[in-house]
Chains A and B, each alone.
Chain A
């Protein structure tokens, strides 16, 4: 709980700093666009829509969350062979600018491929599983899965990506943000992970 509180505090400071800073908006947006069209677009799409379910959608994701992930990739706190090279040259300002850029984008959401599975996921997401002691995801990530400054938006993310992240939290292969998430996911079955991911992809 304390870890979460500290993390939230830290991110709120960042958010406050962002709100108070003068109109860096234009220059940073131009810089972000240049980086996106030069590097990020191949996997994440020019507007963060991501043409492939192998790579996460970034459109509409919280700026602070993206900046934190980029920073974690750079420091190695979050492991990824693909991302490490991409972020090596990014400055903290650029990371924030990229976050702001992607936050502004929106991507169309597709209906679930397996509506029955998504229905199971809807129940789990909103009510958890009282039989196994699994908390409802909505209690932190919000009823609309939009997340907060401290927690990622999950709505509209590719099912496969979400499911992979859940599995990686479970196996401790995802090495950041995992203090809370590991405890939660350790109570999830394979069916529940797949179902929640499927539900979120169409939200």
Chain B
């Protein structure tokens, strides 16, 4: 009994791991989510002076910053409040969208 239980758990974990890595988010949905950032960070993440651009920034960098805001590791005036409204998957998808935009 124990052997089957362990195997099943392992299988589930593997599926979960691969699913979270290969999470196929609808690109148009990611585009819509990312558009919510344009009010401060500019259309398609190309910001006017005074605010950081996100266009062409690596996905890794954006995700790290957003996670740092979410955990409070990076102080902010309001990004900590905004980042907590998005799930980790949503942040990954939004970051990927901006990484693909032209600077």
Do A and B interact directly, with beta carbons closer than 8 Å?
Answer: yes
Evaluate contact between A43 and B75: CB separation under 8 angstroms: yes
Distance, CA A197 to CA B9, complexed state (A): 42
Residue A161 interfacial (CB < 8 Å): no
Residues of chain A contacted by B68 (CB below 8 angstroms): 54
Evaluate contact between B76 and A42: CB separation under 8 angstroms: yes
Distance, CA A54 to CA B61, complexed state (A): 14
Residue A6 interfacial (CB < 8 Å): no
Residue B74 interfacial (CB < 8 Å): yes
B74 to chain A, nearest CB (A): 5
B28 to chain A, nearest CB (A): 30
Evaluate contact between A52 and B77: CB separation under 8 angstroms: no
Evaluate contact between B52 and A54: CB separation under 8 angstroms: no
Evaluate contact between A81 and B52: CB separation under 8 angstroms: yes
Evaluate contact between B75 and A52: CB separation under 8 angstroms: yes
Residues of chain B contacted by A52 (CB below 8 angstroms): 72-75
Residues of chain B contacted by A53 (CB below 8 angstroms): 73
Residues of chain B contacted by A51 (CB below 8 angstroms): 75
CB within 8 Å of B: which A6-45 residues: 42-43
Evaluate contact between B50 and A55: CB separation under 8 angstroms: no
Residues of chain A contacted by B50 (CB below 8 angstroms): 85
**Contacts from B to A (Cβ < 8 Å):** 50, 52, 68, 72-77
**Contacts from A to B (Cβ < 8 Å):** 42-43, 51-55, 81-82, 85
Q: A42-B75, A43-B75, A82-B52 are in contact. List 4 more A-B contacts (CB 8 A).
A: A42-B76, A51-B75, A53-B73, A54-B73
A-B contact pairs, 12 of them (CB 8 A): A42-B76, A42-B77, A51-B75, A52-B74, A52-B75, A54-B73, A54-B74, A54-B75, A55-B75, A81-B52, A82-B52, A85-B50
